[in-house]
Amino acid sequence: MIELKIVKNNDQTSEQYGKYYPRVAYKKTLGIHDMAVHMAEHQTPFSEGTIEGILRDLVKCIREQTLNGNTVKIDNLAIFKCSVVGNATNALYDRTNDVTIRAAIGAKTAKDPKTGVVKPTGNAVKSMKLLAQATGEYTREELNKDATLGWTDLAQKIIDDAKNEQPEP
């Protein structure tokens, strides 16, 4: 079961100020070793060590392939791919500073160490990110069908207290 907690928006500048939202109360993070132990408990002929090695190789290969510009689809789980956060630019070539847009990661500008003047770098990309898009039996629609939700004990207490609260006169 996925347990939910209650979070109140306390940002006074937000249009959503004062509203309550459910958020997942994550229990723990399982690493590769933990997943190997779990998988070995499912009547598999493979040992925890063999499974862990395979999972480590899978992670390494997904990283390698996505950094080579490929997408990797793990059926009924996700499609993994690299994406970029771009530095918006008005021109592909800055004649004033003789700077051409570059396929590089970094800030849009940098301070010249000698002069202290901030100049354009030409870097097209601010940063990289890894995307995982649900696929197959792990799509949003399938998750909506299969998920079981419940409140954490603290969230249930908050709800019960609100229910039992006396209205102001």
**Are 90 and 128 in the same domain?**
yes
For residue 96, is it within any domain? Answer: yes
Contact 2, 148 (CB under 8 A): yes
**Are 88 and 125 in the same domain?**
yes
**Are 38 and 63 in the same domain?**
yes
**Residue 121 burial (CB count, 10 A):** 17
For residue 8, is it within any domain? Answer: yes
DSSP conformation letters of 43-86: T-SS-HHHHHHHHHHHHHHHHHHHHTT--EEETTTEEEEEEEEE
For residue 160, is it within any domain? Answer: yes
pLDDT of residue 139: 85
**Are 135 and 82 in the same domain?**
yes
pLDDT of residue 67: 94
pLDDT of residue 138: 85
| Integer Cα distance of 153 and 150 in angstroms | 9
Report yes or no on whether pTM surpasses 0.85.
no
Residues spanned by the domain of 10:
1-25+152-169
pLDDT of residue 153: 95
What string of pLDDT tens digits covers the 169 residues of the chain?
Answer: 999 999 999 999 999 999 999 999 999 988 999 999 999 999 899 999 999 999 999 999 999 999 999 999 999 999 999 999 999 888 889 898 898 998 999 998 889 889 999 888 889 999 999 999 999 888 888 889 989 999 999 999 999 999 998 777 6
Looking at the structure of the chain, the number of domains it has is 3
